[in-house]
Structure 1
Amino acid sequence: MRIIRLEETDSTNIYAKARLKEGENLVVTARRQTGGKGTKGRSFASREGGVYLSRLFFWLKMPVTEAFRIMANASVAVCRTLENYGLTAEIKWPNDVYVQGKKICGILIENVFSGDRISSSVVGIGVNVNNSLPEELKNTAISMSEAAGHLFDREDVENTLIAETGKAFDMREYRRRVGFLNRTVTLLSNGEARIVRALEVDERGGLIVESGGKRERVTAAEVSLRLAALP
């Protein structure tokens, strides 16, 4: 596996995607991103001091129905990395990783499809390590250094995360690591919001919720989740 380490790029995902045709397992890292991307087209703050990387995966027989596993694997890799440095992490379904009740990383998966198969994936991960956070995010986001009260060796964290993204994973571990269950949450879908109780995550990554005494299964493709219920 080749690792390309950059001082700065617009987005490690964009840089990695441009090399998909080379067919080589690859990791791209950057100290800074000028155009970091999050889910649903949101921007991702990428100040120096954080870890920003994208990893290319090529699959032989990955059905589209298994796409959730790619996202779950990335979340578990981040949790394992943080635990290596003494931090307790938990996943907010489907793939946000939280420490001390605040978001500590961003994950963006971009898959390439061939019929009913996923032929390759670009897994982008950004972790707040020693970087400062924009003022508007300080109530909802956190860095490793803020959580622990001291700075970390950024390159060591980067290397640990690269190693963890390549390790074996199963859905049982993901399900064990999902927190924020048995509580009221807000589900957002097509501009509409509704309050439900999040109960559990099933073996395929669906979230089981309850509302009005009725249970239903929702997927990450259908809804997004907010921890705070609407006033």
Structure 2
Amino acid sequence: MKIIKLSATDSTNTYLKEMSKTIDLADHTIVVTEKQTKGRGQLGSTWQSKDGQSLTFSIFKRFSNLKIEHQSLITFAVSIGVKNALEVLNIPVMTIKWPNDIMSYSKKLCGILIENQIEGTNITSSIIGVGLNVNNSEFDKLPQASSMKLASGKAFILEEILQLVSEAILKQLETIEYSKNNNLEATYVASLFRKDKVTAFNDQRNQNFNGIIRGVDSTGHLLLETENEEIKSFELKQLKMLF
């Protein structure tokens, strides 16, 4: 791994993306910053980080033969990698809130933003952004947020967490490259937050309904059992979980 450390940047994903346009980036290049001013999340959301308490970094990963239709494997691998790393550190009750928020109990510790570069029918590389709350103790108007410190009662060294988490992510991503991903989807599904529990959702029409998470389909869309016992597939933009 090559690690580029920045004192500040608007977004580590954007920084890596711009770098990739001008130079031939080495596989596993990582950009980490002490201060991120315009962190991005899913569907245009923002990611709040705290200087010296949060980890904000992005990983550049090349792929040699990954079809677009298999891009959900990247989400599975990255989510499982982060979860595995935090479990090694005894962060309690770890789950993955679909598609890739990392939870302890019912609080969010980590957000992930994956941006793929595509040529023809293949994904040639991905930029994987990770925002991880490590030693944060307070959150501004974010009642569902938490940190590794709040969840475990222990403080952590940011550099050590960066190394552990990035290695765990890359280890899982290698399973995609070498076709050892037979259990990747099953592991991901088994780790889903509120799986097999009645959960409230809000749809695109701003209507609330109850559903039961049963898994994901081949494209990574969420499979919900609705109130009439029908299994339906949903994209991220089509619903919001209420909990």
> Normalization by structure 2: what TM-score?
0.85
1:223 and 1:109 mapped to 2: Cα distance? 19
CA distance in structure 2 between the partners assigned to 1:166 and 1:32 by the alignment: 24
- Give the whole-Å Cα distance in 2 for the aligned partners of 1:211 and 1:196: 7
Matched, 1:67 2:75: no
Match of 2:179 in 1: none
Whether 1:4 aligns to 2:4 is: yes
SS at match of 2:48: coil
Q: Give 4+ residue runs of structure 1 displaced > 3 Å after superposition.
A: 186-194, 219-222
List runs of 5+ in structure 2 lacking aligned partners.
176-183
The answer to whether 1:102 aligns with 2:102 is no
**Matched pairs, number:** 227
CA 1:165–1:190 in structure 2 vs 1: closer, same or farther (change >3 Å)?
same
Q: Contact conserved, 1:172 with 1:203, CA < 8 A, in 2?
A: no
Q: Distance in 2 between matches of 1:70 and 1:12?
A: 19
Partner of 1:220: 235
Q: Mean alpha-carbon deviation: is it higher for 80-89 or for 120-129? A: 80-89
Query: 1:181·1:200 contact (CA, 8 Å) conserved in 2?
Result: yes
Identify the residue that residue 29 of structure 1 maps to in structure 2: 32
Is the 8 Å Cα contact of residues 75 and 97 (structure 1) preserved in structure 2?
A: yes
CA 1:200 to 1:210, structure 2 compared with 1: closer, same or farther past 3 Å? closer
1:38 maps onto 2:13 in alignment: no
User: What are the within-5 Å matches in structure 2 for residues 80-91 of structure 1?
Assistant: 80-88=84-92, 89-91=94-96
Structure 1 counterpart of 2:224: 209
* Letter aligned with residue 97 of structure 1: I
CA displacement, residues 81-118 of structure 1 (integer Å, 9 cap, x when unaligned):
11121113101111111102101111111111222222
Contact 2:217–2:223 under 8 Å retained in 1: no
Shift of 1:191: 4.6
Q: Given the alignment, which residue of 151, 162, 170 partners 1:147?
A: 151
Which secondary structure does the structure 2 equivalent of 1:20 belong to? helix
**Root-mean-square deviation over aligned CA pairs:** 1.9
Q: Secondary structure at the match of 1:9?
A: coil
Distance in 2 (alpha carbons) for counterparts of 1:142 and 1:93: 17
Deviation of residue 206 (structure 1)? 3.4
Residue of structure 2 equivalent to 1:130: 135
Match of 2:211 among 192, 197, 205: 197
Match of 1:182 among 196, 212, 228: 196
Which deviates more, 8-17 or 184-193?
184-193
Question: After superposition, what is the alpha-carbon deviation per residue over 1:13-57, rounded to whole angstroms, capped at 9, x for unaligned?
Answer: 011111224242211111221111111111110112111110111
Identity over the aligned pairs, expressed in percent?
A: 29
